[in-house]
Chain A
């Protein structure tokens, strides 16, 4: 059975004069700002099936009764893919991510209950997974809307709050 290698960012290999380099979909929108942190490089692996059987040392976000997203350092993706149960889909390249600080800005971006995170919902009209640690929030969302969302987040942070 195919291991879907063409999905995994970390499978790229250098050699024969080639040196693959990946780029964040947020890079141009963020333009080096320190106001938010680009998390697009974080490893994101979706697991479908018996998610209670997940037994790895990594952050596991439950997306439903049989779906979970495992967050990890990029370098750990390969190892985790081997150890995770069920259908394992590497979504590292599919989801962009960023971290921001500010409850007020989040109130302007989403109608999710910020006291009941993590949760999946809409952030500035696009689907996202939102995690919270105090006043810091991590957002993971489809990379194709990454540039848009990064602009909106910066705008929300810079607006007259």
Chain B
């Protein structure tokens, strides 16, 4: 039922919209909210309360309280009092077992009261511990805020928009609009944000409906505009968030039919709805008392008006489970509508977050903001500049028992607050954590002041001494989808990536890179490199140029290796260590000329190494430039007995062993592309790494496959590469090493030139040398073909003696091989060990030399 058209109604009676409530069609007008349409259709119970499952109806009609939260189109906790109707929306209640009218869980309210005081589950459900998961499931089903579809896929698009403006006005009431208008007239760039819908203002960008959810460091203001999260940075922030009408505390203050005055105004003025037939009004200020105008216009009989400014009742009680009458100081007045107002508290939360001081004004009974930070100002009623209000009692005794709710979100009663105090939670911050008062969906809008008043009264002090709890974002609820935004996941791809995909490669992540795991046959690919010819994309390697007169001394200080003695055109393997001598990364260092070194790093370590280089260069001030060439250059490794033959077809360079020897670096053209050719052998075969401009990645890959077709060239992926390097016992940093590993114990003592004057981590390696080795990195070979897991335990005479770092079946050697850290007594070729594999102990033997080509003849061939 609607009232006759009201002067300022928001509905357009000529446009009808239909949606479904629990599967039943509900008619609405354009301009309605789902809540107003349901109210018009006769619904009065909108939700069941969080803990006691008490029936709850509209209370604030402004999206501030939890009393109308429903599930809309699968989204839980939608406040339907402010959610605009939309055609076909599917609406259903939440946190209900049965129906809104008959909720089976309401038994908690009737019978559970004495057994379910605040925090009861902290102490009654902790033993036996193994039962907690069952308790938790039950609790979560009984007490809750709707449910989410765990299998739902991303259905909505959310964006984040970074904005800057000179003036950001938050709040589109009279004061906010006026502030925005004035700023615009001064030629400022102004944005006005309002959670309901502000009028158009000349020269002002209005974003509505939208809520500022907080003020962060640096003046960052996130604004929730539904599917867009604006991240505003403003030179000046103007807060015009107004006030929040406070409820009164008395037994039965949560019954259906009890409204705040502002809710009644909205129901009548905006949606032409009649909230009752006989009304009682109890209010603390003139603004709230003005609701009688709406009541009269809606032809609601006003049975009684209690102006708290004139007299404070001692007792207020509400009769029955449904509102039938109100008893004030023993005088009973029949009614079906109780309009209450405990005054208007400035909505200062954003100001507090910005750093304003919040003080209690005893005369007005409210907390007001002061000492605003520079660049933040407040206008309108949020400043607290409103007088003529009575300070209501902390609570009114009903004299007949019944629950008096301080917090309707979390179902915290006056009795719960008293219990918290009795238990020693004498500060409001502690009480908040114990009772969860102010922690519900309203974020303290309706319960913060009330809980402070109760604590002040019960501790016989003043509200100012109790103080406020810390104001934190979000000031209004925000969906996780909006916070998550678009979910950007930057993936790095080599310039040959799409060729791998076209070849049917199985791609995998290595750090931020997408790399081919294999091309379908990892074992065959590994074997083929030994028998014929393989090519692998190694563009992901970190690549640095270190250039300058002091390049050699710079690298000598960074690495344990020596570089000053390197001949031009030669390459050396290097291991980078931390200050504590731990292995950080490894790679090759090629000397291109007297002042230029080309450094490669692991694929995942590139960024760290570059930062490390730059940090130390800033410390030492060496005359060198460090240039990151990782993305600039693609790289492929052509490896296998036929590698030389293929390279010879593509370049004018002398590719003989004299022309490009093992560990040589040469510049030249390959298939017309300028390349840096590094002859190195991570996979244990004759091999050439070609580094060249990335844009030629696909071209050169195609050329290699075309011209190597008769040599039976095959691409191989990361997995076969790992098998091949394991056959050579080449260490994989991060796989075979951890944060404690050093080059001495990792079996690479020749790396550390301890006779150098200094290098990063030298003292630590000297210390390791002095104290003796605690473990060694060795190879092992399984005797029966079982493949241990990485991290698998190694036992000697039944006692722990080490751990596996890598293990694979070598298809070429036909053995299961691996690497492991073992105790020093096992550093002996052929030592017998046992490795735990799937719970059983499997025999293995220690190996100290590479499994494949231990003399390195293939590499140097």
Contact = CB atoms under 8 A, between A and B. Distances in A.
B672 interface: yes
A138 to B, nearest CB: 18
Contacts of B490: 124-126, 145, 148-149
Interface size class for chain B?
35 or more
A13 B669 contact: yes
A144 B157 contact: no
B694 A93 contact: yes
Contacts, number: 153
A44 B432 CA distance: 59
Interface in B148-166: 157, 159-164
Contacts of A53: none
B160 A108 contact: yes
A89 B491 CA distance: 25
B56 interface: no
Contacts of A93: 632-633, 693-696
B693 to A, nearest CB: 4
A143 B696 contact: no
Contacts of B631: 94-95, 142-144
Interface in A25-67: 25, 28, 40, 46, 48
B629 interface: yes
Contact of B695 (A22, A152, A160): A22
Nearest to B692: A6
A147 B691 CA distance: 21
Interface stretch (B132-140, B278-286, B333-341, B592-600): B592-600
A121 to B, nearest CB: 10
A25 B703 CA distance: 19
Nearest to B627: A89
B629 A94 contact: yes
A8 B161 contact: no
Interface in B353-396: none
A20 B671 contact: yes
B694 A25 contact: yes
Interface in A110-159: 110-115, 124-126, 142-149, 152, 155-156, 159
Interface centre among B488, B498, B513, B595 (most CB of A within 10 A): B488
Contact of A18 (B594, B695, B703): B703
Contacts of A23: 495, 695-699
A145 B491 contact: yes
B331 to A, nearest CB: 58
A160 B157 contact: yes
A7 B672 CA distance: 14
A146 B486 CA distance: 18
Contact of B595 (A1, A11, A24, A159): A1
B9 interface: no
A88 B486 CA distance: 38
B648 interface: no
Contact of A2 (B495, B593, B669, B693): B593
B162 A107 contact: yes
A6 B695 contact: no
Nearest to A111: B162
B446 to A, nearest CB: 35
A1 B597 CA distance: 11
Given A6-B633, A94-B629, A125-B488, A108 B159 contact: yes
B627 A12 contact: no
A5 B674 contact: yes
A82 interface: no
B488 A124 contact: yes
Contact of B696 (A20, A145, A156): A20
B488 A87 contact: no
B231 interface: yes
Interface in B652-686: 667, 669, 671-676
A63 to B, nearest CB: 13
Contacts of B164: 113-115
A11 to B, nearest CB: 4
A16 B163 CA distance: 56
Contact of A145 (B159, B492, B596, B695): B492
Given A5-B674, A9-B695, A21-B699, A28 B596 contact: no
A40 B594 CA distance: 33
Given A1-B594, A87-B625, A108-B161, A9 B693 contact: yes
B566 to A, nearest CB: 15
B521 to A, nearest CB: 26
A79 interface: no
A7 B629 contact: yes
B576 to A, nearest CB: 22
Nearest to B698: A23
Contacts of A40: 695
A75 B698 CA distance: 22
Contact of A6 (B160, B486, B691): B691
Contacts of B287: none
B674 A11 contact: yes
A16 to B, nearest CB: 7
Interface centre among A7, A16, A24, A89 (most CB of B within 10 A): A7
Contacts of B694: 25, 93-94, 143-144
A25 B493 contact: yes
Nearest to B670: A18
Contacts of B691: 6
Contacts of A5: 667, 674
A65 to B, nearest CB: 14
A72 interface: no
Interface centre among A4, A15, A92, A115 (most CB of B within 10 A): A4
Interface string B205-242: 00000000000000000000001000100000000000
B630 interface: yes
A114 B161 CA distance: 12
A148 B491 contact: yes
B632 A94 contact: yes
Interface string B607-636: 000000000000000000101011111000
Given A2-B593, A107-B162, A148-B491, 8 more contacts: A4-B545, A23-B696, A23-B698, A23-B699, A93-B632, A142-B492, A143-B495, A145-B491
Interface of A: 1-2, 4-9, 11-16, 18-25, 28, 40, 46, 48, 87, 89, 91-95, 104, 107-108, 110-115, 124-126, 142-149, 152, 155-156, 159-160
26 contacts: A4-B545, A5-B674, A6-B693, A9-B696, A18-B650, A18-B703, A20-B672, A20-B696, A23-B699, A25-B493, A46-B627, A92-B695, A93-B695, A93-B696, A94-B629, A94-B632, A107-B163, A124-B490, A125-B490, A144-B513, A145-B492, A146-B493, A147-B497, A148-B489, A149-B490, A155-B486
